[in-house]
Chains A and B, each alone.
Chain A
């Protein structure tokens, strides 16, 4: 284990040296963005608090509802961490830049695996873990619990996340072991993603929301039974829920049992993972190094690309983006999941129990917020990393006769087309499914189109402001400070859009109900405010990003 200590020390030293070499400007910038991140967490805390406070006020079943929501939230966290570690570990364990050095070095392969698997688990779970903090704090506030509850939470969460991450890492290990051929592995990878999407869809189509709506069930007793029943009792998320409930009730012996169970299970799972790695890791690593001797037909530009961008440097860049994107199998799995997400989103909209046409129109307008959030998440995954994904080949573009602005514009264009497609699908289909009135349908669709473009412009702008050309894993780009700031900015932008457009919506409804008249002055003010918001969202990150990328030196 001396080797592991040494490897971990190099990480600590690297982190320390990074901090120690920050210039005053970098300190100020990071501090500012760190505060913005704290603000976002504060906002999340407020949202969670409002939700939990509302649930707790429901007569008789308030506490049951609170814990049911907690169990479901933790189940979702478990699934997200597992999927995230599955994707992260593929790069970290098999394609890291430093692996050749480490495997060649006189340290055992087990130590290398320990180092890399801990890195995978960390990158796959830290952000999800951080998001749990405002939830736990909100829970403590609503249930009037003290610091002891938060300490109990802090003890239970690390093994929970490690367990979830270990499962994902184990899957990747087996995948690489059984399918060393890169082509077969790619096919399996995509099929796995497809299965996951199908399972996700099936779970959603089972309409679990019926269970948390008392009117959907014939008998009250059945509803109560559902609330009291464990949520996925065999999974660690339920153990964590039990542990938190015990801590909240002050049953410390019961909490201790759950803590022991979680820590024991995490240790046993991780030990099993290390044992599995002893048999499979080297074979998988060796297979991954072989690469794919894949002969490709020379790919030509598509007609729309020729028409949109013609020939020349800009068009060539667009072509290169498309080839590089679609040949990376890791993107296919994401695309499949997005397709599933859009499908399930629309299914959920269709199943909304709304009878009044006015309420349907209102929901259609609020859909701008929900769809805007989905677009922001897509932006974080695809648009924000676009600049950084040039990676070590950045010199090709930087030394080529094209401007940085040209590069950014092409990346924007490449992201904007699919993002707009998703936005229009979500907007138009939701409006049609809900039967929104013409005004609301037009306004929400227009808002979504603008939000889609805004999210893309901010993605490229923030991506250029925080370029990370030397990372090996797209998740490191997403979960960086820049990614966090981008997501916070997007959420603010979407929220502000809803806030501004609610003026004309309010007038529209007042007019419908005969409670007021349409005032063009208010509409003009709203239009002007929307224009200012979008001008800021488009121009500020773009200009700052362009300047930062032009000055970027590595």
Chain B
């Protein structure tokens, strides 16, 4: 479970996130949408303890991230917007490293690391240095890393970027299965089709504020559009008129 209460982050006078209050229940896949610079990544960084909020609280799996940081982090898995990992480790060594950081038992690592490498089709490259991996392979390695320690909460910032269609499908199926087992998933994405098909609820953020939150049907009602897909709803809520003007200009 993720609970955000009045979460605020200011950089100087600019409020990147402004009083965000939100709860994501266990087993729920929550899609976090918004235009570039809306404050999505800042929110992700505050949830995962990479940034300190200016105000407000974050609770993950019942632990306050500010006061019970280690317990909260142990319960969480992060896929950042850019999958930078140690270039001089092999894929297998990276997973072993992550396993030890998160306290995965050695027998479990011995069993699960080969399984995860196989799942993401990384087995033939598991013994090579990460510096030789493509962007997509690194993304898959990071995903394998978070699945290794079986967190109760997954925080994903653009998890599909760089993945080939087959891997993308695999990852979507994995998320659905994890959610069915009670894992909370908080996902930032720009791919509206994925958000629409995968997420139970969606939040739309603009200039640091959550302007809409609910199921697709609820958002459609809010946007007062009928029969429109998520793209239409999104544009309607985030400034579709400007988009049309831009198209006319082009």
Most-contacted residue by chain B among A312, A320, A391 (CB, 10 A): A320
Interface residues of B in 19-57 (CB under 8 A from A): 48-52
Number of residues of chain B lying within 8 A (CB) of chain A: 35
Report which of A296, A315, A392, A401 forms a contact with B82, defined as CB distance below 8 A: A392
B101 close to A (CB within 8 Å): yes
Is B89 touching A313 in the complex (CB atoms < 8 A)? no
Q: Which of A323-331, A354-362, A417-425 contacts B (4 or more CB under 8 A)?
A: A323-331
Name A406's closest neighbour in chain B (CB-CB): B70
Smallest beta-carbon distance B239→chain A, Å: 29
Interface residue? A299 (CB, 8 A): yes
Interface size of A by Cβ–Cβ distance < 8 Å?
35
Q: Which of B122-146 contact A (CB under 8 A)?
A: 127-129, 131-132
Contacts of A324 in B (CB 8 A): 86, 88-89
Given contacts A399-B76, A401-B74, whether A319 and B131 have CB atoms under 8 Å apart is: no
Distance of B138 from chain A, by nearest CB (Å): 10
A299 adjacent to B93 (CB under 8 Å): yes
Pick the contact of B70: A292, A315, A328, A403 (CB < 8 A): A403
Does B85 lie within 8 Å of A295, measured CB to CB?
Answer: no
CB-defined contacts of B69 to chain A, threshold 8 Å:
403
Q: In the assembly, what is the distance between CA of A391 and CA of B85, in Å? A: 9
Given contacts A399-B48, A403-B70, contact A316 B106 (CB under 8 A): no
* B243 contacts partner chain A, Cβ-Cβ < 8 Å: no
Contact A402 B70, beta carbon cutoff 8 Å: yes
User: Is there a chain B Cβ closer than 8 Å to A393's Cβ?
Assistant: yes
Chain A residues near B132: list those with CB within 8 A: 291-294
Q: Is A553 touching B92 in the complex (CB atoms < 8 A)?
A: no
Give which listed residue, B70, B93, B96, contacts A401 with CB less than 8 A. Answer: B70
Name the interface residues of B85-108: CB closer than 8 Å to any CB of A: 85-86, 88-90, 92-93, 96-98, 100-103, 106
Decide if A297 touches B127 in the complex (CB within 8 Å): yes
> Quick one: which of A298, A319, A320, A399 has the most chain B CB within 10 A?
A399
- Our pick among A297, A317, A399 for the contact of B49 (Cβ within 8 Å) is A399
B73 within 8 A of A: yes
Chain A's closest residue to B99 (CB) is A316
Instruction: Say yes or no: A402 contacts B85, CB within 8 Å.
Output: no
Most buried by B among A296, A299, A317, A319: A296
**Residue A400 at the B interface, CB < 8 A?**
yes
A313–B101 CB distance below 8 A: yes
Complex: chain B residue closest to A311, CB-CB = B100
**Quick one: which of A392, A395, A402 has the most chain B CB within 10 A?**
A395
Shortest B209–chain A CB gap in Å is 21
Q: Using a CB-CB cutoff of 8 Å, which residues 294-314 of chain A contact chain B?
A: 294-299, 311-313
- CB proximity of A308 to chain B, nearest CB, Å: 15
A328 to B86, CA, bound (A): 12
Q: A-facing mask of B59-82, CB < 8 A → 1, else 0? A: 000000000011101101010101
Among A297, A315, A395, the residue within 8 A (CB) of B50 is A395
Q: Which of B49, B71, B74, B86 contacts A393 (CB 8 A)?
A: B86
Q: Within 8 Å CB of A313, what residues of B?
A: 100-103
Which of chain A's residues have a CB closer than 8 A to the CB of B78?
Answer: 395, 399
Which residues of chain B are within 8 angstroms of A299 by Cβ–Cβ distance? 93
Interface contact A298-B86, CB-CB below 8 Å: no
Q: By the criterion CB–CB under 8 Å, are A296 and B100 in contact?
A: no
Contact A296:B127 (CB < 8 A) given known A320-B97, A324-B88, A393-B84:
yes
Residues of A within 8 A of B98 (CB): 396, 400
Task: Report A-chain residues with C-beta under 8 Å of the C-beta of B93.
Answer: 296, 298-299, 320, 323
Chain A residues with CB below 8 A from B84, complex form: 391-393, 395
A-B contact pairs, 26 of them (CB 8 A): A291-B131, A292-B132, A297-B127, A298-B90, A298-B92, A313-B103, A315-B100, A316-B101, A317-B101, A319-B97, A323-B88, A324-B86, A324-B88, A324-B89, A327-B88, A327-B129, A328-B88, A393-B85, A395-B80, A399-B49, A399-B78, A401-B70, A401-B74, A551-B52, A553-B51, A553-B52
Across the A-B interface, the 3 shortest Cβ-Cβ residue pairs = A316-B100, A392-B84, A401-B74
* A→B interface (CB under 8 Å): 291-299, 311-313, 315-317, 319-320, 323-324, 327-328, 391-393, 395-403, 551, 553
